[in-house]
Amino acid sequence: MGFLYSQFCVRPSYPEQSFADQTVLITGANIGLGLEAARHVVRLGASRVILGVRNVPAGEAAKKDIETSMGRSGICEVWEVDLASHKSVLAFGDRIAQLPRLDAAILNAAVATTEFGIAEGFERSITVNVVNTLLLSLLILPLLQKTGKNVPGSQPRLSFVVSEVHAWCSLPEWTEDHILKTLSDQSKAKMNERYPVSKLLEVLLVQELAGRVRGSEVIINMINPGLCHSALGRDQGFLFQAFKFFLARSTEVGSRTLLAGISAGLESHGAYMTDGHVENTALSPFVRSDEGRQARIKLWNEVSDIFESLRPGIMQNV
């Protein structure tokens, strides 16, 4: 009932907060919500917008479209990053770290597929939506913190695009010794639930990350944009596309929630935002349960080992 009310009766506010002189990073910015969020950020005065994309020619087309529509040139930069590749994410994170400042980041890139595939030793959705999204956040976190300390009046923000579908699944695998490896076993994988499960894992990890970082340094939050017209889920068949046709928000309206995330105050630190507002009661019962908290810690320890194997010392960033 809450989902239908939100889709039909709630229209997120049009973004108006200035990003003048700010540097903003958006992944998955060549299409859909990421592209429209980037357009808003350029409209609102950002001086530098990094479009993190896997498809560089599509990114260049997005850059041209954004800057032409907003009448501002030389603002967007297209940087390649493939979240299915550890090497690509590490290189991208290192490149971001060389920027003089980073005021806000929207980690939006994701995949939604029912086809099983392996990337970097894990099922691809787990690698992209969970492991490498969190890896990237740890790589850029020091620059966000540095910006907050060195730029007068700055309040850096790190926003993760999650989804309400995290509450539409269970996670029995949390009791296994290795949660992500178990989820990456093709003989056990329930791919029709994979996108919701990946977003549940992301919610748990972002909660833990936010609990280890002071909001006064970097505000970390989670954004649920609702069901929107975008390229996400384009491989999920006719029924899903029909469902979207009748229920989905426009891409621009959905993107407003992403801007709400990087405009929100300290009250949003560690919080789940839906329709552009903090709504922690909308988190799934599992996430708010004792079992959910145990799963969160166990999962954090698991990904910490992965991250340390990829970049020794990285966990000192939190």
Task: State how far the alpha carbon of 39 is from the alpha carbons of 157, 159, 213, in Å.
Answer: 18, 17, 29
Give the type of residue at 267: E
Catalytic annotation, pick one of 63, 146, 199, 244: 199
What are the angstrom distances between the C-alpha of 260 and each of 32, 44, 51, 251? Answer: 17, 13, 18, 15
Per-residue tokens: 219: 């505000």
CA distance 250 to 232: 13
Decide: helix, strand or coil at residue 65: helix
- Distance from the Cα of residue 100 to its chain's centroid: 23
Matching residue, tokens 């809450």: 2
Q: Which residues of 177-187 are buried (b: 16+ CB within 10 A; e: fewer)?
A: eebbeebbeee
- Which token pair is 227? 């069901």
CA–CA gap between residue 237 and residue 158 (Å, rounded): 33
Per annotation, catalytic residue among 146, 195, 244, 272: 195
CA–CA separation, 185 vs 191, rounded Å?
11
Q: Is-catalytic flag, 272?
A: no
- Looking from the CA of 311 toward its CB, the CA atoms found within 13 Å total 19
Structure tokens given for 306: 């992965």
Backbone angles phi, psi at 194, to 5 degrees: -65, -45
Task: Supply the residues annotated as catalytic.
Answer: 195, 199
